Structure 1
Amino acid sequence: CHMLEHEDMAMMSQFEVVPSSGGVPPPTSGLTLTPGTDTNPVGTVHAVTATFRTGGAPVSGVAILFAVTGANPTSGSGTTAGDGTASFSYTGSAAGVDTITACQDANGSGSCDSGEPTATATKLWVGAGKPAKAITLAPDGGVRTAGETDSLTATLSVEGTDIPVEAVQVVFNVYGPNEQSAALMTGTDGTVAFELYGANAGEDWIQACYDTDWSGTCDESEVSSWAWRQWTPEGE
C-alpha cells in the first residue's frame, strides 16, 4: 500500500495546477457613448449618454464635451454623476446623418484634444410623418435623341392619400445602355427630380425606390416604380 501511495504521489508531481481564468473579461476603462446608432423623425429630440470608467468602476466629476457634425451641427458639455454618466440631448431639425463625438476634456481646454479618451455615435434623421407606401415615376415612356438629357420625377405619398412625404431618400437606377444611379432627397411636396443623360442609343429601364434604410440601394422589400426611355441615334 505504501508503494502505491508513493507511485501516486510521483505521478501527481508531474502535473502543474494552473488557475482557471474562468472566462471573466478584464476590467474596462475609458469612455463609451450610447446608443451607438439610432433613427429618429426630424423635429424630435435625441439623447446620448457618455459613461466614464476606470478599472471597471464608474468615475464621477469627469468633464465631458459633446460635438455634433453633419446635418444638425451643435455642441454641449456635461460632468459625470456618481454612476459615471453624463447625458446630452439635441433636436434634429434637418434630415440626414449626424456623427456625435464625446470626449473627456482632461486638460480643461474646452476642446477634444489628441490623446483624450473619445467615443462616437451615429444618428439618422428621417422625414417626419407616416412612412411612404406609394411611389410613382413620371413621365413613363417616350423617345429621345441620344446625347440629350431627360428629366424624370419621383413622387412619394402616404398610401391611399395625397399626403406628400418629404426629406426621405429616393434611389434611382438606370438599366440599359446608359447605366447610372443616384440617391436624392424629396422636397416639401414629396417629389424629387432625376436628370438622365442618354449618351447611347437603345432602351433604358429606370427604377425609383423609397430607400427606407438609407442604404443607397433598392432592396427587395422597398417600394419602387419603373419607367422606360427609348434613345435613337443622333441624326435620325
Structure 2
Amino acid sequence: MLSVTPIPAFGDNYIWLLRQDTSSEICVVDPGDAAPVIELIEREGLSLSTVLITHHHADHTGGLPELVERYAPRVIGPDNPKIAGIQERVASGDEFRVMGRRFEVFEVPGHTLDHIAFFTAGIPPLLFCGDALFSAGCGRLFEGTPEQMHASLNRLAALPDDTLVFAAHEYTLANLRFALAADPHNPDVARAMEECQRARELDRPTLPSTLGREKRINPFLRVTDAGVRQAATDHGATDSDQATFATLRAWKDSF
C-alpha cells in the first residue's frame, strides 16, 4: 500500500510524503524547507529516494539543494533552468514510476508558466497539483493568464471524481469564505465550511480533497453554474466561461 502524509512547513505549506508500507524509501513533493524532511528521515530511519517538484517558487523548492547534497535523491520536475538540482525534466505526456506507481505529467500553466502536476491512477487515483488547484480555490496568477489557468483546471477536472487532491497549501477555510460569496446558494459549500472548521479546530489538515468534492464546492471549477455565473456577472463578467473565470480570479485577489 502507498501511503501519503503531510509534512507541515512554513505555517500553511504541505510537503507530501509518499511511502510504501514495506519499504523505508520515501518520496517527497515540493520540499520548500529541508529541515522538517531531514528531521523525519533521521527520526524514523528512512531513505529519501525521490523528490517531485511542481514549479519554481521558493516555498516549493527551497529545501531541494540541501536534500540533494545530503541524500542524492532522484529529482523530477519541470523543464525550468531556474530550478537547480532537477535530473529528469518532464512535460505533458511524460510518464515515470515511483513507489511502484506509474505517474503521468500534466502541464498546468497559470500560477506559473512552468507549473506541472503529477497524477497516478489506481485505487485511489492521486493528484499532486502544487499551487494549481486548491481545495475550494486555485492559485494566484503570477505568470500565466486566466485563459491558461482555466484550461489547466479543466484538464485536471477531467480526471476521475475519486481522485485524491493533494494541494500544497492549507488555504481551504479562506477559499471557502470566498466560495460562500461566489456561490452563495450552494449548500455543499456551507457543509464544507462546517467540516473544515471542525478539522482545523482539531489541528487536522483539510486535505486531501477529491475532485468530485471540488466540482461541488470550488467556484473556479463551477463557472458554468448559474449561481456562480450570476455572482461573477454582478462583478463585471460577461456571459462566458472564460470571462466568469477571469472575474472570479480577480475578485478573489482582492477579497
TM superposition score normalised by structure 1: 0.22
* Higher share of residues assigned strand: 1
* Higher share of residues assigned helix: 2
TM superposition score normalised by structure 2: 0.21
**Structure of higher CA gyration radius:** 1
For CA contacts below 8 A with separation 6 or more, give which structure has more relative contact order: 1
